Amino acid sequence: MTARQHDELILAVRPTPRGFAYTLFEAPLSPVDWGMCEFKAKHKNIPTRDAVAKLCAKYQPDALILEDRSHLTASCYGRVRRLQAMLAAMAQEHNISVSYYSRASIRRAFHHGKITSYEIAQAIASFIPAFEPLMPPRRKIWQSDHPRLWLFDAASLAMTHFAAIAGTEPP
């Protein structure tokens, strides 16, 4: 790994229906690693926690960034809430701070209240050349979001965190 260019190494994790997507940033426009992990098992929380723990052991991030889903009441988010509690406990064991950002705060950080996840992904791809080939196609109204969009969700969490600690917006 190269020398750090910023004060913090940030690991942003976005739980998905299949597992999780993550990005590791050393500065707002400097990703170090990123990827997606899928699990075939019916219960994905423990394998996800273990995989994130391995990433934490490998990179020793200063902060773990998660999406704030506390205001959502849908039953489908129960698994994600339990997973986020597990990840927060794991981070505490490793002395890693945890920060949560809502979708609204991400949209505000990207300077638009009504910006879509796809438009945020386009902005990220335009500023980070390594993410440009990962940009998924625009979905049709009858399609669900492309799985690669979850990677951009994780990147938007990290960039929102950097904007929050700097008191500015992402580029």
Number of domains in the chain: 1
8 pLDDT exceeds 70? yes
Using the CB atoms, write b or e for 72-110: b if 16+ within 10 Å: eeeeebeebeebbebbeebbeeeebeebbbebebbbbbb
What's the pLDDT score for residue 42? Answer: 82
For 127-131, what is the mean pLDDT?
93
Look up the CATH number of the domain holding residue 20.
Answer: 3.30.420.10
Q: How confident is the model at residue 104 (pLDDT cuts 50, 70, 90)?
A: confident
Q: According to the model, what pLDDT value does residue 3 have?
A: 45
More confident residue, 166 or 21: 21
Does residue 1 sit within a domain? no
Long-range contacts of 4-7 (CB under 8 A, 24+ apart): 5/30, 6/30, 6/162, 7/62
Residue 5: the pLDDT is 45
Say if 2 falls within a structural domain.
no
pLDDT tens readout for residues 158-168: 999 998 887 65
CA distance 22 to 16: 10
Q: Is 125 a domain residue?
A: yes
Is 171 part of any domain? no
In a domain, 4, yes or no: no
For the question of whether the overall pTM of this predicted structure is more than 0.85, the answer is: yes
DSSP structural state of residue 138: P
Residue 11 to residue 64: CA distance in whole angstroms: 5
48-96 residue pLDDT tens: 999 999 999 999 999 999 998 776 665 556 788 889 899 999 999 999 9
